[in-house]
Structure 1
Amino acid sequence: MLARLAPAIFVLLWSTGWVVAKYAAIFADPLIFLALRYSFAILLFIGFCLLSGARWPRSATAIGHAVVSGIFLHGLYLGAVWWAIGQGVPAAISGIIAGLQPLMTAAVAPWLIGEKLAGQQKLGLILGFCGIALAVAPKMLTIDATATPIHLLPLAVNVLGMAAVTYGTLYQKRYLQTGDIRSIAALQYVGALLVTIPLALMLEDLRVTWNIELVAALAWSVLGLSMGAIALLLYLIRRGQVSRAASLIYLVPPLAAGEAALFFGEALTWPMIIGTVIAVTGVYLTNRKAAGGTAASEPAKEMPAV
């Protein structure tokens, strides 16, 4: 039963990251909240590694690669996304922008790791970017009278976050093909903490309002996302089912938008709905198997944590 449900549960957990980011921003500044999250995640992952007998990297180079990948995959990626949501980018829009990650990976893979794009992949890239533009345009240009305008800087930072996780994905694919993923995950959160603390000190007032709501958000972020999602990913890797979870990545933008509408009343406008459908179609075309049976854009199957 778990083997059948694990991919869907993993993606469902992942999609809640944007809702948690918006909820947590009510009680704490985003970057200091992430610093707390990473700190607890490091402690829990170290305990998990010790209990499960995980092997740690033996060379300074391997440790360095794990830390650097964490800077991009967690620190800069989540820092940018959570800061942007804290600055007013709706969780639904941020979730839709998250769909750019596989597209960005496919777009830069030919230059960074020598992968070539087929015709359907190029069409998918065009559709994906058009879909994101359609979803975001009404709030950027206030074409929709009911839409709350979004400032350009937070939106640009959100997109930069997707660029960071794209680079981190390719970096991990190049330098972390071997090693125990449990200990690597622990070191990645160390890298994330190293970059998040200075950013929090520079950009925030370090506001934290301790209450049951904040504790609940922190507990879900650490246990449900940083630990639970990773545990499911480890289970899927062991059973060889990562491709099934990756195929469900296309459901994350509509899931995040639906959750934002349910919990925060964010409007699901027709441009957002249509743009999401177009973007998801573009991501599917970019990553589906080519006619000859070769998987397209393999790096896009590397899924960042939330």
Structure 2
Amino acid sequence: MSDRVPPAGSRWGFLLVPVLSVLFVPLWASGFIVGKIATGYLDVPAVLLWRFVVALVAMLAVAAVLRPALPRGRAWLHLAVTALLLQVGQFTFVYTGLSAGVPAGLSSLILGMAPLLVGLLTPLLLKARLGPAPVFGLLIGAVGVYVVLSDELGGGFGAAVVLPVLGMVSLTAGTLYQKRFNDETPVVTSVIVQMATSLVATLAAWPFLGASPWPSGFGGWLAVGWLGIFNSAAAFALMFLLLRWRHTVHVSALLNLVPATTALVAVPVLGEPLTVQALLGLGIALVGMYVGLGLVRRRRRPAEPPDGPAGAPPDAAVGAVGRET
């Protein structure tokens, strides 16, 4: 099995992309829901520890079958840096915020701003062209986030809302680093190196964290198992495959569905309230995201090759989250 692009007109290409796209959104959104549940059973460092352990074991099993190529030279270092940003940094901030009472839906909404932030920074760091659409989209999305925050800040978590913001910054930085240095790494190899690096970093910091490594109940084991297998190994592998088979704008459009999915699922599963003001802010933020990404796609489409083996050109990354989210 290869993670290269299937022929554009093949039956596999026609069937796999829609199926994987449908699976990707709930798997990615589940990280916020199950992450909130996991922090009720474990300390945040323990959630990270078991997430990385389970994901690493799962991907090593896949690697035993697929036998992907190993990184060469400095690629090892670049993958390690990406892992510290995308895995350790992002999820440390997100899980700490969830454990401090930040709602899962709000966390998802804040991190959902990363695609457009990547778009704004891409011309500066990756020398790609940028039109006005991502700027307008980010501004509209920021208004939506402000509307939600103005409703939620009275909920008792106050300054803790900064934590998912820092998680979003870490996600953005890791995405840009990945775009610059790790674009050609095989999917399975990339996930394995990320999880192994993150696990080593967590273990190295463990003596200073004062955390218990064990879940307080069976529900904790189920939660970390889900985070490791489905939200880490499976969701990241699906993202990488979709990015290989379609333009990055396609994946960013899917990521824009995550905040609404998370907010709606959090109501029955976590008992989080969904007020009219929160719905309004969520709607504004989603409109902003689609304005930025949708207009970029429409503008770029004549100049872009069709989805196929060549993958996305560098400027197709504008306004989109990259391979490692």
Q: Which runs of 5+ in 1 are unaligned?
A: 143-147
Whether 1:129 aligns to 2:142 is: yes
**112 and 238 in structure 1: CA distance in 2 versus 1, 3 angstrom threshold:** closer
CA distance in 2, matches of 1:94, 1:250: 13
Partner amino acid, structure 1, of 2:190: I
**207 and 105 in structure 1: CA distance in 2 versus 1, 3 angstrom threshold:** same
CA distance in 1, matches of 2:145, 2:323: 19
Whether 1:53 aligns to 2:67 is: yes
Q: Give secondary structure in 1 for the equivalent of 2:299.
A: coil
Q: How far is 1:136 from its partner?
A: 0.9
2:82 to 37, 44, 69: 69
Q: Which runs of 5+ in 2 are unaligned?
A: 1-14, 304-314
CA distance in 2, matches of 1:162, 1:65: 20
Q: Give secondary structure in 1 for the equivalent of 2:320.
A: helix
Partner amino acid, structure 1, of 2:321: K
Counterpart in 2 of 1:85?
Answer: 98
Counterpart in 1 of 2:152?
Answer: 139
Q: TM-score, normalised by structure 2?
A: 0.84
Whether 1:111 aligns to 2:118 is: no
Whether 1:37 aligns to 2:44 is: no
Q: Give secondary structure in 1 for the equivalent of 2:148.
A: helix
Q: How far is 1:74 from its partner?
A: 0.8
**235 and 300 in structure 1: CA distance in 2 versus 1, 3 angstrom threshold:** closer
Whether 1:302 aligns to 2:299 is: no
Partner amino acid, structure 1, of 2:156: P
95-104 vs 106-115, greater mean Cα deviation: 106-115
Whether 1:270 aligns to 2:276 is: yes
The share of aligned pairs that are identical, in percent, is: 26
Q: Give secondary structure in 1 for the equivalent of 2:40.
A: coil
Q: TM-score, normalised by structure 1?
A: 0.88
CA distance in 2, matches of 1:132, 1:121: 16
Whether 1:259 aligns to 2:265 is: yes
Counterpart in 1 of 2:173?
Answer: 167
CA distance in 2, matches of 1:188, 1:221: 15
Q: Give secondary structure in 2 for the equivalent of 1:291.
A: helix
Q: How far is 1:237 from its partner?
A: 4.7
CA distance in 2, matches of 1:70, 1:299: 22
The total of aligned residue pairs comes to: 297
RMSD, aligned CA = 2.2
Q: Please list the CA deviations of residues 79-134 of structure 1 after superposition, one character each: whole Å capped at 9, or x if unmatched.
A: 11011101111111111111111122122223222334322222111101111011
Partner amino acid, structure 2, of 1:195: A
Q: Give secondary structure in 1 for the equivalent of 2:168.
A: helix
Q: Please list the CA deviations of residues 2-36 of structure 1 after superposition, one character each: whole Å capped at 9, or x if unmatched.
A: 54321021111101110011100111012211111
CA distance in 2, matches of 1:255, 1:81: 17
Counterpart in 1 of 2:28?
Answer: 14
Partner amino acid, structure 2, of 1:108: L
**242 and 116 in structure 1: CA distance in 2 versus 1, 3 angstrom threshold:** closer
CA distance in 1, matches of 2:300, 2:55: 42
Q: Please list the CA deviations of residues 272-293 of structure 1 after superposition, one character each: whole Å capped at 9, or x if unmatched.
A: 1111111111111222225353
